[in-house]
Amino acid sequence: MSGAEAETDRLIEELLAGKHRALARVISKIEDRAPGYRDLVSALHEHTGDATVVGITGSPGAGKSTLVDKMAETYRRRGETVGVIAIDPSSPFTGGAVLGDRIRMASNVGDMDVFFRSMSARGTLGGLSTATTDAVKALDAFGKDRIIIETVGAGQNEVDIVGTADTVAVLVPPSSGDDVQMLKAGILEIADVFVVNKADMEGADRTVQELKEMVHMRDASPLAGTAGHHGMDESALSDDEEDDDGERDGWEPPVVETVAKTGDGVEGFLDTLVDHRAWLESSGELESRRRERTEEEIRRLLRAEAADLVREEVDARGGLDAYVDAVLDRETDPYAVAAEVTAPIRDCVGDARE
């Protein structure tokens, strides 16, 4: 056994034994894509699947960090362990998190059962780094009961969080209502729960009402139920599967109010998350979502592997400069170049399939 293999085995053993230092080292390797990180994630995979993963997203200034802090504090009072991954903006110079491991979990300082980690968005869509999914697996294998992912919150790109969390809460700050009307359709669709934080501020009641109207209008749309995120396709339900009101047995995102700074409403918000989890399990939606996420994860990894193979082939041919010159001189075209470069890879795959 090589030294690297021995280190991997030791890290896995210590992580599964509940040593936070090993968890921190594993996540560092995952984030840095250090040699051996794939072996780590692969070995941890069989130990995952028990944690509840919640995504917290929303516009900057909505109070996401404060709410996450209070969520962790409340979970701990309930006797549950917590892992928090906060996706920070990337430094244009180092690629690391600008805010670093910022001191924002004020209520949980010194509590070893609350593991907090800032990770760099690295410029990826929606602020979710490609390492986030693997970091969640590490926290899950470690045995954290609740895993919270807090995103940067950069417009419609927040839909990326759907690929990682079981339940997505979208925070909306109190306003005159204009901000609610500007919510993109994609953001509206990913929300399992809407949270009007800072509910003690002026405009909160109006924001709550407008959100409820938007949810009602969405569910009343002829396209409701076809997207497959909040409810099953209506055609898949028989008449006796309707609820007492004759409505489709789906999940209508509730609108809850919190004042995270004081903790008001946080208990009720967490109860709503429990209700959503129960619905996911009873409706079969949890299994469906996890299957979709796994499929997308495999596709993403396949794309990355294929890109690496193509990059190696291009480098072996001396780079793209000669091809670029030929294209600009109209001696060939981009499609022909792509076909030529990938031909050896395609042939090898075809031979292996046969």
| Residue 262 shares a structural domain with residue 306 | no
210-219 pLDDT, tens digit per residue, is 888 888 887 6
- Whether 316 and 194 share a structural domain: no
Query: What pLDDT does residue 210 have?
Result: 86
Answer yes or no: do 208 and 344 share one domain.
Answer: no
Q: Is 229 left (phi over 0), alpha (psi -120 to 50) or beta?
A: alpha
Q: How many domains does the chain have?
A: 2
Return the residue matching tokens 């004042």. Answer: 259
Of residues 312 and 103, more confidence is placed in: 312
Nearest 5°: the CA angle 295, 56, 163 is 10
DSSP SS3 for 204: helix
Give residue 174's pLDDT. 87
pLDDT in the model for residue 90: 53
Do 134 and 264 sit in the same domain of this protein?
Answer: yes
Whether 155 is covered by a domain: the verdict is yes
Give the helix, strand, coil percentages of the chain, each rounded to 5: 55, 10, 35
Which of 106-110, 214-218, 232-236 has the lowest average pLDDT?
A: 232-236
Residue 2 lies in a domain: no
Distance CA 222, CA 217 (A): 10
pLDDT reported for residue 152:
73
CA distance 272 to 254: 8
Q: Check residue 220 and give its pLDDT.
A: 66
Q: How far apart (Å, rounded) are the C-alpha atoms in residues 318 and 54?
A: 46
Q: Where are the beta strands (DSSP E) in 96-206?
A: 114-120, 146-150, 167-172, 193-196
Q: Is position 6 within any domain?
A: no
Claim to verify: residue 127 and residue 248 sit in the same structural domain? yes
Residue 100 is assigned to a structural domain of this protein = yes
Q: How confident is the model at residue 54 (pLDDT cuts 50, 70, 90)?
A: very high
Phi then psi dihedrals of residue 345, to 5 deg = -65, -45
Pair 71, 193 in one domain: yes
Q: What is the CATH number of the domain that holds 264?
A: 3.40.50.300
Residue 37 lies in a domain: no
Cα separation, 180 vs 213, in Å, equals 10
Same-domain check for residues 184 and 210 = yes
Mean pLDDT of all residues in the chain? 82
For 254-276, what is the mean pLDDT? 95
Residue 71 has pLDDT above 90, yes or no: yes
pLDDT of residue 168: 93
Categorize the per-residue pLDDT at 201 as very low, low, confident or very high, splitting at 50, 70 and 90: confident
Range scoring the smallest mean pLDDT among 69-73, 185-189, 345-349 = 185-189
One domain for residues 192 and 308: no
Same domain, 226 and 342: no
Per-residue pLDDT tens digits for 284-301: 999 999 999 899 889 888
- Cα three-residue angle 171-172-177, rounded to 5 degrees: 165
Report the pLDDT value the prediction gives residue 342, as an integer from 0 to 100.
Answer: 95
In a domain? residue 129: yes
Strand partners, 115: 83
Supply the pLDDT for residue 216. Answer: 81
Is the pLDDT at 159 greater than 70? The verdict is: no
Q: How confident is the model over 246-257, as pLDDT tens digits? A: 334 589 999 999
User: 124 or 270: whose pLDDT is higher?
Assistant: 270
* Number of residues in the chain: 354
Instruction: Using a cut of 0.85, tell me whether the model's pTM lies above it.
Output: no
End of a domain among 226, 253, 283? 283
Token duo for residue 151 = 């995103």
**Spatial CA neighbour of 97 closest among 116, 121, 113, 79:** 121
Q: Which domain holds residue 308?
A: 300-353
Ramachandran angles phi, psi of 2, nearest 5°: -75, 165
Residue 101: pLDDT band with limits 50, 70, 90: very low
Could you tell me if residue 25 is inside a domain? no
Q: Are residues 118 and 69 in the same domain?
A: yes
Whether 54 and 162 map to the same domain: the answer is yes
Tell whether 184 and 222 lie within a shared domain.
yes
End-to-end CA distance of the chain: 34
Report if residue 11 sits inside a domain. no
- Spell out the alpha helix ranges (H) of 152-203: 178-181, 185-190
Between CA 116 and CA 130 the distance in angstroms is: 18
- DSSP labels, 13-40: HHHHTT-HHHHHHHHHHHHHT-TTHHHH
